Amino acid sequence: MLELIQKRRSCRNFTDKKLTHDQTEQLLKSALWSPTSKNNRPWEFVVVEKTETLDALSQCKPHGAAFLSGAPLGIVVLGDPAKSDVWVEDCSIAAIMMQMTAESMGLGSTWIQVRLRLDEEGNMAGENVKKIIHAPDELEVLGIMAFGHKAKEREPYTEHVLLWDRIHFEKF
């Protein structure tokens, strides 16, 4: 597990190769098996493979989402605040679980932040995303996870980037 954690780096350049049905299913299983507060499971996931939809989603905010148009797969992660007051935590855990599962299959991934982000006109990026995927009003968008085959490998993390000074024992 530690090796996978060290190896996982955000990937924003993907080859044209599609994911298999089995690979996508494994990503989704890891999300659906994720722990949630009180086992509320307040998340919803929208699997997007159509180029037009990925293109549209890549425009939901001005920075940090454009590369989604070159990804073969995006998974929009949404939460229901009526089902859990900690939906952000629950959805975040599911998102990182999918990223780690992708890494375990040799696939690349990147988290695209949507919650709290605005577009150029000052509209909530999440509202733009909801319109594109026809999501119900009451849901909130956490983010979009981009997945695909890595166009190039990135160096894994090394020991010397570990911020050991952030670790405190017994007292701060």
Ligand X SMILES: Cc1cc2nc3c(=O)[nH]c(=O)nc-3n(C[C@H](O)[C@H](O)[C@H](O)COP(=O)(O)O)c2cc1C
**Where do contacts with ligand X occur on this chain (CB under 6 A)?**
9-10, 12, 64, 110-113
CB of 137 to ligand X, least distance (A): 23
CB of 90 to ligand X, least distance (A): 14
Give the three-state DSSP class for 12: coil
Percentages (nearest 5) of helix, strand, coil residues in the chain? 40, 20, 40
Closest-approach residue to ligand X (CB): 64
CB of 170 to ligand X, least distance (A): 29
Give the nearer residue to ligand X in terms of CB position, either 23 or 110: 110
Give the nearer residue to ligand X in terms of CB position, either 112 or 129: 112
CB of 40 to ligand X, least distance (A): 21
Give the nearer residue to ligand X in terms of CB position, either 11 or 133: 11
* Helix extents (H) in the chain: 2-7, 21-32, 51-57, 87-104, 125-133
Give the nearer residue to ligand X in terms of CB position, either 53 or 64: 64
CB of 89 to ligand X, least distance (A): 12
Neighbours of 32 (CB within 10 A): 12
Rounded CA separation 84/90 (Å): 9
Question: Among residues 68, 77, 65, 62, which one has the least CA distance to residue 30?
Answer: 77
Give the nearer residue to ligand X in terms of CB position, either 10 or 20: 10
Give the three-state DSSP class for 81: coil
